[in-house]
Amino acid sequence: MEVMEKIKQAIESNPVILFMKGTPEFPQCGFSSRASQAISACGAEFAYVNVLAEPDVRENLHRYADWPTFPQLYINGELVGGCDIIMEMYENGDLKKMIDEVS
C-alpha cells in the first residue's frame, strides 16, 4: 500500500489518532508525552502511530496535512495540531469537547 494511502486510511479509520514519537506508554520525546497524556486525561481511547517505528510515515506525514512536526493529532479526520495546540485546547476544555463529540 502506498504510504499516503496508508496514512489516509489510518486517519479515516480512527476517530482520534495521534502520530507520535514512541507510544503512549513509552513516549520518545517530551512533546509526544505531553500530547498523549492530555488526550488520555480527557478520558479518550485513541489510536496512535509510532512514527519512529514507521519511517515511511514519518517521512511523508508532513505532506499529508502540511504540518512539519510531531506529534500530530487528528480528530474525525481533521488535523487538530501539534503539542502546543493540543495543550492549549486541553487547558481551556476544547480538547475534551472535541473528543466527547466523536466518542
| Residue 56 marked in a binding site | no
The pTM for the full model equals 0.96
Average pLDDT over residues 33-58: 96
| Residue 84 marked in a binding site | yes
Question: Does the pLDDT value for residue 93 go beyond 90?
Answer: yes
Domains annotated for the chain, with CATH where assigned, are 3-102 (3.40.30.10)
Nearest partner of 6 among 70, 66, 44, 49, judged by Cα: 49
| Residue 21 marked in a binding site | yes
Average pLDDT over residues 89-97: 98
1: pLDDT confidence band, cut at 50, 70 and 90? low
pLDDT tens-digit series, residues 25-36: 999 999 999 999
| Residue 6 marked in a binding site | no
